[in-house]
Amino acid sequence: MLNNNAIVGVIGSGAMGAGIAQVAAVAGHKVVLYDNNAAALDKAKGNLIITLQKLQEKGKIADAAAIINRFSFAAQLSELSNCNLVIEAIVEKLEIKKSVFSELEKLVADDCVLASNTSSLSITSIAAACTKPDRVFGLHFFNPAPLMALVEVIPAVQTEPSLIPAAKALMQQWGKVPVIAKDTPGFIVNRVARPFYGEAIRIYEEGIADMATIDWALTEIGGFKMGPFTLMDYIGHDVNYVVTETVFQSFFFDPRYKPSFSQKRLLEAGWLGRKTGRGFYNYAADAIMPEANKDTVLGYRIVERVLVMLINEAVDALHLNVASAEDLELAMTKGVNYPKGLLHWCDEWTADKCLALLDALYHEYHEDRYRASALLRKKGTERERFFPAQ
């Protein structure tokens, strides 16, 4: 049952779970936040109170106390039994998620809807752990959930079709921008964005440019808010690398998604990025950040190479019906704050130019990593656009 009166349960009180719970409570729902770790639950409760009070002080909400009173904090899974919608936001391990869903559905009513916030795992596999898999779907928020507008809504093979428009409408009521994605690895954002990291690392590993130069090129010339190495350090390599590895394995080891040894070694060293003080960059107080080589010719080469790989990935996602053209554009601008949608960017550059750039990379490397999507080849050959000219 998905409506304004639904009682919303959230499993997992980490940053993501607590953030989703906050969004639901601010939207007017009663919320049950569950965690089997009492210390984590207490910490989440304290943080939510502080956050909501700050939002009231800034005039962004009217009554923090009223919103806090919508919460209950649960140490037992059985306390979710009265919920109408339960969103799982725990560790990205399939077997653990399946176990939780299997246990959960024994406790809730038959009309309770179950959603997973997984960023890259199969919704269909999670649903298969349930005796009523038709009530399971994906609801992927982006971190931090209260600030990020995008939510990916993902039906499993088994999902009751009417659930998806209802979920989309509910997310709109919560003030979010929902997009519908096919249940394929990485859905939209974590699939299409892979070259932003992977191709940047490849350029670095080949010695074409250092990290600071690549970051400079993609921010100053490309218009991205954060360079790939800065962003990977910000996300954390325990998250970013694992998503890359998961997508690579899930796509039957397609070389387009191949992880890098450079990032794997950082993970093995425990250099996870900003949170550990060391990643691609050193964040120690006395560390000197490297200077970029601001050669604009080199900068444009870097931007072209990374961007044409991103464009090809978006075009291929459209070709394989992962999402509509409109939802692909929304996902990349609202989910990862790209300066413009990749299909619009392709139209701006022209599909024939994008195809020529990609074919040149394929001719140079003879790697399947650089193969052009069949749809990009069609658009490029026929000089067609994805959207009407303005």
**Catalytic residue (one of 13, 84, 117, 119):** 119
**Residue 58: Cβ within 10 Å count:** 8
Residue 72 dihedral angles phi and psi, to the nearest 5° = -130, 145
* Known catalytic residue at 92: no
* Known catalytic residue at 319: no
**Catalytic residue (one of 105, 152, 199, 329):** 152
**Catalytic residue (one of 13, 116, 190, 312):** 190
Give the total residue count for the chain: 390
**Catalytic residue (one of 29, 140, 237, 344):** 140
* Known catalytic residue at 99: no
Nearest partner of 209 among 115, 331, 293, 335, judged by Cα: 293
Q: Give the integer Cα–Cα distance in Å for 207 and 127.
A: 45
Q: Give the integer Cα–Cα distance in Å for 358 and 223.
A: 21
Q: Give the integer Cα–Cα distance in Å for 166 and 160.
A: 11
Angle between helices 228-235 and 237-250 (to 10 degrees): 100
Residue 28, by phi and psi: left (phi above 0), alpha (psi -120 to 50) or beta? left
Nearest partner of 217 among 308, 300, 306, 336, judged by Cα: 300
* Known catalytic residue at 152: yes
Residue 167 dihedral angles phi and psi, to the nearest 5° = -65, -40
Active site residues: 119, 140, 152, 190
